[in-house]
Chains A and B, each alone.
Chain A
């Protein structure tokens, strides 16, 4: 659906760390503080609050209490890696419906081991995968990548090009954990994790948080001159769930893309912040969105420059592959990077024409298929 009156007011990030054991609550607070500072807002302006995480027990009401937030709307935005986009959609609904006028959304993770892990990631399906020595997401994506390579002739050079281009984007992004140049040979030589998935196909888990503030147009205009609108958004959970012979190389993003591109034109998107837990996932989403036919993603990435200077800029800050994945903050990283670009604040990696961005989120591994949650949104800068 085409959004009319909801804007992104601002954003805040924390530093990413592989070592820090600061509590996850500290990370939320830091990201929110930075967003408030950017927008000149105060804690009392927060009317609604959403948190996306896997580490804080009780989620949003608990976290709101810890942070001293008295709010009229809360959300546990845990939809896996699609949690960023899907939480933004629900917050926009609440603003459009008039429940609240301004919502702060945060996603974060930390390695603080004193926070009790009260909610175990124990899926019913664990009975049918973990018993065989499953390697988690790495194995799931390996099964998909092998099939894509076998069915469509996709090569490691084509898949690796995505990781290499994203690293180039990260070189000038101070937030990125990985800022050393990476060649295709480096990619190819990285150690095998779950063949054909290599180390440099994988994200680095870390501590960190991202915050986004969403408000009505009217409210936004009082806060900032940089008007970034949420234009359209869609999601699909459990695509092909009742199909016992699903196409593993097509995600729910195919359905999401059909909805998105019934509202905006494919060629009007200037930059692509595509959830990149693995390069192959980026390639499949490009196909699902119809930028090329299914199976031609390899040729497509070969034919385009994916860096921030290129004709098809993808994950312009380096994405989760080069910045790091702070748990479910990964689904917010792409939204925040799109905002940096559209507001002209992506110093060192700014896309020249950045008016419209496509942002995606995918998550929630499922049995025999691929991803449980898929979502996307388009945002637009208007003068």
Chain B
């Protein structure tokens, strides 16, 4: 009998636009896009600067620190494969560079998370050895 295939946790479908971002993450770097024309930073990765529309975009490494802007304890994830992890602390982080990033808070002390708490990036392994996810931990 064929094995029942269980749903797997979602992984990024890496494409030409965000290849650099995911390579960076696999190497332990959190990358943001920086417009060469106007200097603005942006996240998530796109083919143009959403501010000045220039297509001339660079990557910079973020410090990986920021604070919790808002969060939700997810009990019903869209992909059922994440059910084993619930409740999941899904967060919006304001990076020190001034950009909102959506991610997940993991590690010690997260049960008492509050808005404004300082966080730092960590890179979580996935079931694909080539892919790591930028997540956040409370910065002690």
Interface residues of A (CB under 8 A from B): 122, 124-136, 138-139, 142-144, 146-147, 150, 191-197, 241-242, 244-246, 248, 367-368
Contact = CB atoms under 8 A, between A and B. Distances in A.
A329 B59 CA distance: 42
Contact of A135 (B13, B72, B92, B101): B72
A185 B78 CA distance: 27
Nearest to B99: A244
Contact of A131 (B69, B73, B133): B133
A132 B115 contact: no
B70 A143 contact: yes
Contacts, number: 122
Contacts of A142: 72, 74
Chain B interface size, as a band, is: 35 or more
B26 interface: no
26 contacts: A124-B44, A125-B44, A128-B44, A131-B9, A132-B90, A132-B102, A133-B82, A133-B85, A133-B86, A133-B90, A133-B104, A134-B78, A135-B88, A138-B76, A142-B74, A144-B70, A193-B76, A194-B72, A195-B87, A197-B72, A242-B51, A244-B41, A244-B100, A245-B99, A367-B102, A368-B92
B98 A244 contact: yes
B17 A124 contact: yes
A134 B101 contact: no
A367 B44 contact: yes
Contacts of B79: 130, 133
B11 interface: yes
Contacts of A244: 40-43, 98-100
Given A150-B115, A245-B98, A132 B44 contact: no
A196 B74 CA distance: 9
A144 B88 CA distance: 17
Given A127-B13, A131-B12, A194-B76, A147 B69 contact: yes
A54 to B, nearest CB: 15
Interface of B: 9-14, 17-18, 40-44, 50-51, 69-79, 82, 85-88, 90, 92, 94, 98-104, 115, 126, 133, 135
Given A124-B44, A144-B70, 7 more contacts: A132-B90, A132-B103, A134-B78, A139-B72, A194-B76, A245-B99, A368-B43
Contact of B44 (A127, A139, A191): A127
A194 B90 CA distance: 9
B74 A139 contact: yes
A132 B41 contact: no
A197 B90 CA distance: 13
